[in-house]
A and B are shown apart, each in its own frame.
Chain A
Amino acid sequence: MTLPLTSRASSRGHKLRGGAPRRGSGGPVGAWRGWTWTRRLVALLLAAAFLVPFYWVFVISVQPGTTISSWPLNLVPQWHWANYSRAWDLDTWPRYFANTVFVAACTVALCLVTSVLAGFAFGVLRFRGKKVLMGLILSVLMVPTVTLIVPDFVIANELHLLNTYWVQILPFGSSVFGIFLVRQFFLTMPQEIMDAAAVDGAGRLRILWHIGVPAVRPALLLIGINVFVASWNSFLWPQVMVTDPSKQPIEVGLASFTTDNGTDWSAMSAAVCFTTLPIMLVFLLLQRQFIRGAMTAAGSVK
């Protein structure tokens, strides 16, 4: 199992190739060509297997009746859309959606502000103890969220923040990944332009706003997407901190919905579909950025 010697494979991502390309040198290439198609077929079949759960939950969500009562299982959609309206009416979904979007938007906004400011400080400015502070922030990555549940519950209780939006926003209002990414962008950009602006008398905030922010815009997009999705998907935190359904986000709503209606598989599947569809659309529209973000997170911070 290895890379085939097709011209396409060899023409990409090889900086270290020394001599002339060996393209079309005959010999093994022909032998590899059959393997290329086998490889494509195997990859597609495996990918299709990964998508089976997506297909099945859709089939159940449009099946007639509420449960599955006998074999053989239904494996083709029956287009019984009534399950969706039933599931929709069984719970306060608009509220959950609104809460989720509001919390996610606020978290993203807060994260962008904190990341840009701190990233600028770490990437451009110089001050005593900078390295120590950066190390302190990076060490935050070592703390598992689960271990924070206990003390943060006590703290939120003391600050009277339980059952509020604040407790869903503030603790996630800063991102190590975000700070690190903005800092990297600043370190790799030509900073002379900022010095020139300083010579012309621009203050630091002006430099940051007019030169820094436009320069790190791609980083901001990555941070925004990642924080938004993480906030949308969060469950453990709001499950512990927010018991008031009018403040709960979508995933907590979905979990409690299924606890209450666990026997109604059709409604449950319909709810899974319509709660997950928006975030999947976001993903599919922005998949390039997503994957880049994942790689960056993997390569640099996580």
Chain B
Amino acid sequence: MPESLAPAAGVSQNQPSPVRPRTGPRLGRRTGRIPAGAGPRDRRDFRATAWGYLFVLPALLVFGVWTIFPTFYTFYISLWHWNEFDISLSKYVGLANYRQLFQQGDPSFLDAFGHSLYFTVGMVLGGTAIALGFALLVQRGGRLLALSRLGFYLPHATPLIASSLVWGMIFDPRFGLLNYGLDKLHLPTSQWLYSPGSSMPAVIVYSLWHEVGFITLVFIGGLAVISDEYGEAARVDGCGPWREFWYITWPQLRPVTTFVVLITTIGSLQAFTQFYELRGAGNSTVTLSLLIFLNADGQSPTLGYAAAAATVLFAITVLFSLVRRRTSVGGGAVAS
């Protein structure tokens, strides 16, 4: 983000803003009384203006009320035994909600944290590897490859609720397509969402199906801007495709890969809908976001607990976002 921001900000700063004459009195608009180049009566530039605040205000109001203030408010709520029906009945409990995070629960916060990590690692490793393979496979090329690109991307356009419902049926132990196919191929079948061991892999498979097309596009974008000169030189010297990828293409893709890893990490930590919809028996797919949701649904008296969990999730996300900021600056330097 900053690598594209920094130069842009620079542009806006360095933009020569020679004093542009502006018609002074408002009454004199559209009269064209001031010939261009003539000595300006009002030496103010129309850009330099406090109007800027007014123009930014609507957007800032939306973010302020629904995002920026609530972020601090979450922390505040997390210090209370919150009563949402009558806030005056809320009780200040200090860090008790945070202590409760580390206690046994069904499911406990630590379990949910573990599940979030499991999912994130699966998505990052699987998503990066598969999408990179796909990108190398379908980059550039003619109509057939463009069609394949569209095929990979189409799942990403489906609403999560609708497509995870379909995958719920695919994973159905008795009448699902997956077990049927495995049986036909004489491979072992599984309970998928209904077994603690296979439920998270199943959700990861669904999520990869949904996200890989998008990540592939990002990689294709990265491949499009790297130079083919080195690769060509290597091929002339008799370098095989595998070695060319490993020593020439892959290093040049490093900034893009870093970027993909970080956005996938942040996105996976926040993922919610598929866990809501594909929850089989038990809690083996209850992640942090689902835990927050389950404790914030209005009926339960655990809003303070949910807020504490949300604060922790927020802290983790900020951490990764800061890492992203640092690395993309570094990445930008490497790329340019």
Partner of B49 from A40, A202, A204, A229 at Cβ < 8 Å: A204
Q: Which residues of B contact A157 (CB under 8 A)?
A: 84
By a CB distance below 8 angstroms, the chain B residues around A73 are 175, 177, 180
CB distance from A104 to the nearest CB of B (A): 12
Cα separation A296 to B66 with both chains bound (whole Å):
25
CB-CB contacts below 8 Å: A255-302 with B:
255, 258, 265, 268-269, 272, 275-276, 279-280, 283, 287, 290-291, 294-295, 298-302
Which residues of chain A are within 8 angstroms of B51 by Cβ–Cβ distance? 121, 125, 127, 204
A301–B232 Cα gap in the complex (Å)?
33
Residue among A5, A144, A279, A301 with the highest chain B CB neighbour number at 10 A: A144
- Complex Cα–Cα for A53 and B62 (A): 38
Q: Chain A 100-135, CB within 8 Å of chain B: the 1/0 string?
A: 000000000010011101101111111100110110
Contact A118/B48 with A5-B235, A147-B74, A300-B1 known, Cβ cut-off 8 Å: no
A151-B63 contact given A57-B166, A204-B46, CB 8 Å threshold: no
Residues of B within 8 A of A113 (CB): 58
The interface stretch among A82-90, A167-175, A216-224 is: A167-175
Closest A residue by C-beta to B139: A3
Q: B214-233 toward A: CB 8 Å interface, digit per residue (1/0)?
A: 10011001011101110110
Across the interface, which residues of A come within 8 angstroms of B66, CB to CB? 148, 152, 155, 170-171
Q: A2-B231, A126-B17, A240-B297 are in contact. Are A150 and B310 (CB under 8 A)?
A: yes
CB distance from B75 to the nearest CB of A (A): 9
A146 near B67: Cβ-Cβ < 8 Å: no
B263 cross-chain contacts in A, Cβ below 8 A = 298, 302
> Which residue of A124, A145, A240, A291 has the most chain B CB atoms within 10 A of its CB atom?
A291
A66: interface (CB < 8 Å): no
Taking CB atoms, residues of chain B closer than 8 Å to A20 are: none
Q: Is A143 touching B71 in the complex (CB atoms < 8 A)?
A: yes
Q: Give the distance in Å from the alpha carbon of A218 to the alpha carbon of B49 in the complex.
A: 27
By a CB distance below 8 angstroms, the chain A residues around B65 are 155, 170-171
Contact with B along A176-205 (1 / 0, CB 8 A): 000100011001000100111011111110
Residues of B contacting A136 in the complex (Cβ-Cβ under 8 angstroms):
60, 63, 68
Instruction: Please report the C-alpha to C-alpha distance between residue A5 and residue B110 in the assembled complex, in whole angstroms.
Output: 52
Cβ–Cβ contact A258 & B151, under 8 A? no
Bound-state CA distance A46–B87 (Å) is 55
List of A residues within 8 angstroms of B318 by Cβ: 142
Inter-chain contacts of B70 with A (CB < 8 A): 148, 151-152, 155
Inter-chain contact B150/A22, CB cutoff 8 Å = no
Residues A44 and B148 in contact, CB atoms below 8 Å apart = yes
Say yes or no: is A154 at the interface (Cβ < 8 Å to chain B).
Answer: yes
Determine whether the beta carbon of B161 is less than 8 Å from that of A254: yes
Q: B137 contacts which chain A residues (CB < 8 A)?
A: 1, 39, 42-43, 46
| Inter-subunit contact A44/B28 (CB<8 Å) | no
**What 1/0 flags go to A38-59 for Cβ under 8 Å of B?**
0110111011101111101100
| Nearest chain B residue, comparing its CB with the CB of A54 | B154
A146 touches B73 (CB 8 A): no
- A133 and B232 alpha carbons, distance in the complex (Å): 46
What chain B residues lie within 8 Å of A76 (beta carbons)? none
Known contacts A146-B272, A147-B311, A272-B165; is-contact A298 B218 (Cβ 8 Å): yes
- Determine if B96 is an interface residue (Cβ-Cβ < 8 Å): no
Known A-B contacts A114-B58, A147-B311; the reply to A201 vs B28 at CB < 8 A is yes
B333 sits at the interface (CB 8 A) = no
Taking a contact as CB atoms under 8 Å apart, the answer to whether B144 and A43 are in contact is yes
Query: Nearest-CB distance from A62 to chain B (Å)?
Result: 14
The chain B residue with its CB closest to the CB of A35 is B241
A142 touches B317 (CB 8 A): yes
Check if B126 is an interface residue, CB within 8 A of chain A: no
Task: Indicate if the CB atoms of B145 and A290 lie closer than 8 Å.
Answer: no
Contact yes or no, B228 A3, CB < 8 A? yes
- With a cutoff of 8 Å between Cβ atoms, the chain B residues found around residue A158 in the complex are 87
Could you tell me the distance between the alpha carbons of A51 and B209 in the complex, rounded to whole angstroms? 10
How far is it, in angstroms, between the C-alpha of A280 and the C-alpha of B155 when the chains are bound?
10
In the complex, which residues of chain B have a beta carbon less than 8 angstroms from the beta carbon of A207? 46
User: How far apart are B214's CB and chain A's nearest CB, in angstroms?
Assistant: 6
Question: Which B residues are CB-close (under 8 A) to A164?
Answer: none
Contacts of A125 in B (CB 8 A): 47-49, 51-52, 55
User: How far apart are A159's CB and chain B's nearest CB, in angstroms?
Assistant: 9
B39: Cβ under 8 A from any A Cβ? no
Q: Is there contact, CB below 8 Å, between A275 and B317?
A: no
Does B334 belong to the interface (CB within 8 Å)? no
How far apart are the CA atoms of A233 and B235 in the complex, in Å?
46
A-B complex: 3 closest residue pairs judged by Cβ atoms: A47-B151, A127-B52, A201-B29
A-B contact pairs, 19 of them (CB 8 A): A22-B232, A40-B144, A47-B148, A72-B180, A124-B47, A130-B52, A136-B63, A137-B59, A137-B63, A143-B317, A144-B289, A147-B292, A147-B314, A187-B8, A195-B46, A207-B46, A240-B298, A272-B166, A276-B163
Interface residues of A (CB under 8 A from B): 1-3, 5, 8-10, 12-14, 16-18, 22, 28, 39-40, 42-44, 46-48, 50-54, 56-57, 60, 67-69, 71-73, 110, 113-115, 117-118, 120-127, 130-131, 133-134, 136-138, 140-155, 157-158, 170-171, 173-174, 179, 183-184, 187, 191, 194-196, 198-204, 207, 229, 232-233, 235-236, 239-240, 243, 251, 254-255, 258, 265, 268-269, 272, 275-276, 279-280, 283, 287, 290-291, 294-295, 298-302
